[in-house]
Every structure is written in C-alpha cells, then in structure tokens.
Amino acid sequence: MRDLTIGQGETIRDKVIVEEEGAVSVTFVATDGNVNVIEEVFTFDGLEADVTIMDTIIPPDSYDYYYKIIWDDDSVDYLPDFSNCEGECVLPQLNICEVPGVS
C-alpha cells in the first residue's frame, strides 16, 4: 500500500481490489493512534470498491490508515495484512497538508 497525500479539505480517491468474489464492504480507517479521524464504509461492486472521501477537514498531520474488508461469510481481512507483522506493524500514511483559508 502507498502513502496518500492531500491538501486539507481535498478528496481522497483510492480503489480496493480483491482477488476473489464475496467481499461485501470495505472501511477506510485513518487514525492518530488514539482516535479514528476518518472511518467510512464503501461497498464492493464485484471485485472492486471505489473509495471517495470528500470530508477531509481534519487537522493537517500524518495519520496511519488501513482498510477493513468484510466478507459475505462475516470474516474480516485487513489491508495491509496485519498477520504478516513481526512486532509492530508499519501502516501507510495519510498526509493532510495545510491549505491557506481552510480550517
């Protein structure tokens, strides 16, 4: 997974693609380590889910982010895959940059 960088108030656009049928929804979660600053759910259309988040008026900073995928059998997967971590996982970053006039 890659880091995402946007200006404060700009739209996050990403796509989640799975390799097999049965994915129902995906939740985009951005966190400061204590509080989820963004948590939005998107549905899959076949093997893909388009992620578009327009409400990004959050303080400029770097936030960890990940995806939580819910399958039709109620199982859960995470991207990045936490099960491959040894010790502490390094999550991709959502970097929100300050934009003059936006607060």
pLDDT digits over 46-93, tens only? Answer: 999 999 998 788 899 999 999 999 999 999 999 998 777 777 778 999
Residue 60: DSSP 8-state? S
pLDDT tens per residue, range 16-48: 999 999 999 999 999 998 999 999 999 999 999
Q: What is the CATH number of the domain that holds 32?
A: 2.60.40.10
pLDDT tens per residue, range 1-20: 899 999 998 999 999 999 99
> 14 in a domain, yes or no?
yes
Q: Is 34 helix (H, G, I), strand (E, B) or coil?
A: coil
> 103 in a domain, yes or no?
no
> 10 in a domain, yes or no?
yes
> 13 in a domain, yes or no?
yes
> 102 in a domain, yes or no?
no
Q: Is 83 helix (H, G, I), strand (E, B) or coil?
A: helix
How many domains are contained in the chain? 1
Domain carrying residue 93: 4-97
> 33 in a domain, yes or no?
yes
pLDDT at 102: 63
Which residues have CB under 8 Å from 81's CB, separation 6+? none
Structure tokens, 54: 């327009």
> 11 in a domain, yes or no?
yes
> 42 in a domain, yes or no?
yes
